[in-house]
Amino acid sequence: MRIYNKLVAHIFSMQRTDISKALEMWAPLDSAEDFDNVGWLYQSSNPDINGVLICHDALENVIEEAYQKNCEMIVCYHPILFNGLKRFDQTNYVARAIQKAISYNISIYAMHTALDKVIGGVSDLMAENLGLTKVSFLLSDSEKSGMGRIGYFKKPLDSKTFLERIQKTFKTPVIRHSNFTKNAIHKVAVLGGSGAFAIEEAIQQNADAYVTGDLKYHDFFKPQGQLLLADVGHFESERFTKNAIAKYLQEKFSNFAVNLSEINTNPVGYYPYGEE
């Protein structure tokens, strides 16, 4: 039996396009990277919704959560449909999620790199939570769009204190990092998700450290002592995104049920640390 969401009794229903239009005022879809798959991934036959669920990844159990919470729409950060599907069967987690969304008539909308680039997006959230000041784009597309951010600590930190701060900020049990430099950490570059492609730019902008995720073995050689690389984990670098989307929609639609997913969809575990 579906769990009745108490908020629904005191709110108004609305059209799902009202939500998507509001999101696109913040994160226009044309700002996303060409390789990405953003916007509507699935639109159900019912355009009216009583609630929306905000999540990081629209996995099968998240679809079920949306159904139990009377949400006819999901806004996810990562697009569950990213690479093409050749067949729908129960052996594929993506197919299972989409099949469940279709069976429950739940629409799915993804933001991903559209939100990465805009002001107030993923990398801005990283910079804000780290306490960086004088923040600007690391790689800019325009005055209002770009990947990554770069800014300053009010007071320089030594390398060990810096790593302790980012571990506390991003709540990651393990930080993979390059060799310590002789420089104090003052100017810091950040980029949510997979950020190896911007290492050279961080060096060119004289960053003392660069915080991102998904670095490979040979990436750690690239700084050559010029900056400290810190891999806090893909999910961890984006951990503030879900709450930011929910806050934005709650401010736009104060009488509408905006729900945060309670499911941690991070697929990476840390032994022997376990879950956070």
Domain shared by 54 and 111, yes or no: yes
pLDDT value for 7: 41
- Report the domain count for the chain: 2
pLDDT value for 206: 97
Domain shared by 253 and 160, yes or no: no
Q: How far apart (Å, rounded) are the C-alpha atoms in residues 155 and 67?
A: 48
Q: Is residue 98 domain-resident?
A: yes
Per-position DSSP letters for 95-147, written without gaps between them: HHHHHHHHHHT-EEEE-THHHHHBTTSHHHHHHHHHT-EEEEEEEEEETTEEE
- β-partners of residue 15 are 48
Domain shared by 89 and 40, yes or no: yes
Q: What is the mean pLDDT of residues 113-136?
A: 97
Q: Is residue 275 domain-resident?
A: no
Q: Is residue 268 domain-resident?
A: no
Domain shared by 214 and 131, yes or no: yes
Domain shared by 125 and 207, yes or no: yes
Domain shared by 38 and 89, yes or no: yes
Domain shared by 49 and 126, yes or no: no
CATH number, position 86: 3.40.1390.30
pLDDT value for 232: 98
pLDDT at 182 over 90: no
Question: Which pLDDT band holds residue 2 (cuts at 50, 70, 90)?
Answer: very low
pLDDT value for 129: 98
> Is the CB of residue 77 less than 8 Å from the CB of residue 21?
no
List, for residues 144-164, the tens digit of each pLDDT value: 899 999 999 999 999 999 999
Domain shared by 26 and 99, yes or no: yes
Q: How far apart (Å, rounded) are the C-alpha atoms in residues 132 and 165?
A: 12
Domain shared by 10 and 110, yes or no: yes
Number of residues that make up the chain: 276
Query: Could you tell me the residue range of the domain that residue 204 belongs to?
Result: 119-237
Q: How far apart (Å, rounded) are the C-alpha atoms in residues 214 and 212?
A: 7
Question: Which pLDDT band holds residue 69 (cuts at 50, 70, 90)?
Answer: very high
How many C-beta neighbours within 10 Å does residue 85 have? Answer: 12
Q: Is residue 269 domain-resident?
A: no
Domain shared by 206 and 221, yes or no: yes
Q: What is the mean pLDDT of residues 193-205?
A: 98
List, for residues 35-62, the tens digit of each pLDDT value: 999 999 999 998 999 999 999 999 999 9
List, for residues 161-179, the tens digit of each pLDDT value: 999 999 999 999 999 999 9
pLDDT value for 10: 43
Phi, psi of 114 (to 5 degrees): -65, -35
Q: How far apart (Å, rounded) are the C-alpha atoms in residues 63 and 1?
A: 15
DSSP state of 198: G
pLDDT value for 120: 95
